[in-house]
């Protein structure tokens, strides 16, 4: 078993992104990839267990149901590269089905060292599985995983949990085009997408009654306090989840409950916030089924098979690289 660190964002990159996002004219922003330090990854794990957050359970049901069919579609031998694996718990069904037929190399790609370590522990015991983890950005890790490919080995990329929804629709297609550039014709991508559903149900999924999602969101400011010596007062911010009807997405914001000034020495920045002003921290776009097919066509894939969850509208779609 092997975990390689390719290029984890450095403190100076964090400082640069924080400076760019918080000194924007108009809507202030922080990139959602910074949610996932050790505390953020632990909180996300709890979110996946919450009754309100149906996405994870839907993904789990779909993988369980579709694993034998995917194993019959994807020829052996195979390298499985998972983008943003998180704990990797759901992936077990698929890896077990694939490894029953022959050896599998599994390359989880994670920005979070804590998530990658959990994933390794979760999947350690699967027979015939070689684990080669990469702690880095999605595309850097995918390039590394694809360079391990030997003749006749197929690549299956997993991008689950509707993490694609964190990109804008246009950026999502551009990202899939970049994924495609790392693949050969006949390779596969299994994409998870959360589908449109009643807004109250979505709002609860991103603003749960225990306040775990609120803690997850606020931890981003706490991280800046820890790593950039910022002086955010967490009690002066409130987690807000909104549905943007025009963009068909949930947006998470941190709302300043007072007029305040925050200093972030590690980023060389002083930020002034008005009462009621927000910092936008995450988007989760919601899709419909024809849009998923269109995304495949726009990024050099065709849709092979699609599985839909009946309890929580959610799709897993197997794309084949053309
Ligand atoms: C929404 S979670 C989904 C986790 C898992 N796939 C699931 O379905 O439960 C997104 C995961 O991607 C990782 N991640 C976020 N941005 C990343 C990036 N730019 N490169 C690599 N991993 C990233 C996070 O650490 C997190 O574990």
Average pLDDT over residues 125-141: 94
> Crossing angle for the helix pair 92-99 and 54-73, nearest 10 degrees?
10
pLDDT at 6 over 90: no
Nearest CA to ligand 1 atom 5: 86
- How is 73-116 classified by DSSP, letter by letter? HSPSSEEEEEET-TT-GGGHHHHHHHHTTS-EEEEEEES-HHHH
Considering only the C-alpha atoms of the chain, give the largest distance between any 2 of them, rounded to a whole number of Å: 61
pTM beyond 0.95: the answer is yes
Distance 109 CA to ligand 1 centre (A): 9
Mean pLDDT of the chain, nearest integer = 96
pLDDT in tens, 38-52: 999 999 999 999 999
The percentage of residues in the chain with a pLDDT greater than 90, rounded to a whole number, is: 93
Is the beta carbon of 36 within 6 A of some atom in ligand 1?
yes
Residue 182 in contact with residue 146, Cβ under 8 Å? yes
pLDDT in tens, 74-91: 999 999 999 999 999 889
Distance 133 CA to ligand 1 centre (A): 14
Nearest ligand 1 atom to the CA of 192 is 8
Burial 144-162 (b: 16+ CB within 10 A, else e): bbbeebeeebbbbbbbbbb
Nearest ligand 1 atom to the CA of 48 is 9
How much is the pLDDT for 5?
67
Distance 309 CA to ligand 1 centre (A): 21
d(CA 98, CA 80): 10
pLDDT at 124 over 90: no
Is the beta carbon of 282 within 6 A of some atom in ligand 1?
no
Mutate to test the pocket of ligand 1, among 4, 84, 85, 250 (most ligand atoms within 8 A of CB): 84
Q: How confident is the model at residue 1 (pLDDT cuts 50, 70, 90)?
A: low
Residue 126 in contact with residue 92, Cβ under 8 Å? yes
Burial 16-31 (b: 16+ CB within 10 A, else e): ebbbebbeeeeebbbb
Name the percent of the chain in helix, strand, coil, to the closest 5. 40, 30, 30
> Crossing angle for the helix pair 113-123 and 92-99, nearest 10 degrees?
50
pLDDT in tens, 210-243: 999 999 999 999 999 999 999 999 999 999 999 9
Nearest CA to ligand 1 atom 13: 84
Distance 86 CA to ligand 1 centre (A): 6
Kind and range of the H or E run holding 243: strand 237-244
pLDDT in tens, 309-321: 999 999 999 999 9
Distance 284 CA to ligand 1 centre (A): 13
d(CA 108, CA 119): 8
Mutate to test the pocket of ligand 1, among 43, 93, 111 (most ligand atoms within 8 A of CB): 111
Q: How confident is the model at residue 9 (pLDDT cuts 50, 70, 90)?
A: confident
d(CA 146, CA 83): 13
What is the Cβ-side half-sphere exposure of residue 236, based on CA atoms within 13 angstroms? 16
Burial class (CB in 10 A: 0-12, 13-18, 19+), 87: buried
Distance 84 CA to ligand 1 centre (A): 3
Which residues 6+ apart lie within 8 Å of 40 measured at CB? 34, 112, 216, 219, 220, 223
Distance 83 CA to ligand 1 centre (A): 7
pLDDT at 70 over 90: yes
């Amino acid at each position: 078993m092997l975990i390689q660190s390719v290029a984890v964002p450095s403190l100076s990159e964090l400082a640069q992104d924080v400076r760019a996002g918080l000194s924007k004219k108009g809507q202030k922003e922080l990139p959602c990839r910074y949610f996932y330090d050790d505390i953020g990854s632990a909180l996300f794990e709890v979110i996946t267990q919450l009754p309100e957050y149906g996405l994870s359970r839907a993904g789990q049901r779909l993988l369980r149901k579709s694993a034998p069919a995917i194993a019959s579609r994807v020829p052996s031998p195979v390298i499985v590269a998972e983008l943003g694996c998180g704990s990797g718990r759901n992936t077990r069904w698929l890896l077990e089905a694939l490894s029953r037929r022959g050896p599998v190399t599994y390359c989880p790609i994670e920005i979070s060292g804590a998530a990658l370590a959990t994933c390794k522990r979760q999947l350690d015991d699967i027979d015939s599985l070689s684990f080669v983890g990469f702690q880095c950005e999605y595309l850097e890790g995918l390039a590394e995983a694809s360079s391990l490919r030997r003749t006749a080995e197929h690549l299956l990329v997993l991008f689950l949990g509707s993490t694609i929804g964190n990109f804008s629709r246009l950026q999502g297609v551009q990202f899939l085009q970049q994924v495609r550039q790392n693949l050969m014709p006949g390779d596969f991508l299994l994409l998870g997408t959360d589908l449109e559903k009643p807004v109250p149900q979505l709002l609860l999924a991103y603003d749960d009654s225990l306040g775990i999602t609120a803690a997850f969101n606020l931890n981003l400011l706490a991280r800046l306090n820890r790593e950039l010596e910022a002086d955010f007062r967490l009690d002066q911010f409130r987690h807000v989840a909104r549905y943007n009807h025009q963009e068909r997405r949930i947006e998470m914001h941190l709302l300043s409950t007072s007029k305040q000034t925050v200093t972030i020495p590690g980023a060389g920045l002083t930020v002034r916030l008005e009462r009621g002003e927000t910092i936008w921290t995450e988007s989760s776009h919601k899709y419909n089924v024809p849009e998923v097919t269109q995304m495949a066509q726009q990024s050099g894939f065709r849709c092979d098979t699609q599985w839909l969850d009946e309890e929580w509208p959610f799709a897993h779609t197997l794309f084949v690289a053309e």
